[in-house]
Amino acid sequence: MTNPRLVCLGNLTIDDVVLPDGTERPGCTGGDALYACLAARLFEPRTEMVAPVGCDWPASISDQIRAACLSETGLSSRNILSLHNRVAYDADGGRVWTLYNGDDAFHTLSPTISDIPASYLDAEIVLILAMTLDAQIDLVAGLKDRPNRLIALDMQEDYICGNEERLRRMIGDCDIFMPSADEAQQLLGHTDWQAAARAFANLGPSIVVLKLGAEGVLVHERPTDRMIRIPPFPGSVVDTTGAGDSFCGGFLAALLQNRCDLEQAARAGAVAAAFAVSDYGADPMFRAKSDEAVERLRTWRTGS
């Protein structure tokens, strides 16, 4: 396998999905690492993921991952049960999550530096997705001094309260910071998004990407003080699960193609997120094709 250019560090989950009509789909594949990795591969095939799995990880899901041409090299095994959720959808698009594992399992099944294969350590960008705060801090500390690599950070909003100073220090050690609107508001206490982007950039990151849900995204480049607003890609929204993770993967994959074109990267992220929200769970990401994503991106930007 050719060494990856982008590595997504996060979690994999087993999701028992209950659709609005009561139909149940047990044992579906989920997790932020999967969404981000599949999204990134729409624009950069040299993308892999690192996500520990439990001792009960189903062979059927491994088969699905291999069928998507993803390597299992980064899926180290832990001697506990895999992260397992029940996701029940209602007719209005809402969902109720039931988590069968607690924070201890979440932390144990979050990746560490030792889980990253040696061949992945030379990746040009490493994306650290939502996991326990201690796991994120350890990963940033272990990766920040490696030359010629960008560290991108997504957040886990559950750990913000009481950890604001630790989070600010960690954000300062990253090159690209990609919080949601809720996370930014919790950290800063306001919704002035341009001011928020500058405040985060002043901590250290050269690029800040605020994911604003139905309002699209705001991208800020610290060296030039440039602000870029991109709306969501037009299309139906069925399930917002994985939208932010997919955006991050698409954005960073496109950034690898052209480090100077932040608008193209933001649009690529929005295209990837549109695939994610078009159906329930990770199914649309497994079905998405690179050619279609590239064509959607081209026609959206050029208008033809």
**pLDDT of the chain, 304 residues: tens digit per residue:** 579 999 999 999 999 989 898 989 898 899 999 999 999 999 999 999 999 999 999 999 999 999 999 999 999 999 999 999 998 988 877 889 898 887 889 999 999 999 999 999 999 999 999 999 999 999 999 999 887 899 999 999 889 999 999 999 999 999 999 999 999 999 999 999 999 999 999 999 999 999 999 999 999 999 999 999 999 999 998 888 999 999 999 999 999 999 999 999 999 999 999 999 999 889 999 999 999 999 999 999 888 6
The reported pLDDT for the residue numbered 293 is 97
SS3 content of the chain, % helix, strand, coil (to 5): 40, 20, 40
Q: Rounded to two decimals, what is the model's pTM?
A: 0.95
Pairwise CA distance, residues 211 & 240, whole Å:
13
Asked if residues 72 and 44 have their Cβ atoms less than 8 Å apart, the reply is no
Asked if residues 43 and 253 have their Cβ atoms less than 8 Å apart, the reply is yes
CA distances from 199 to 83, 120, 207, 210, 212 (A): 35, 32, 12, 12, 16
The reported pLDDT for the residue numbered 40 is 98
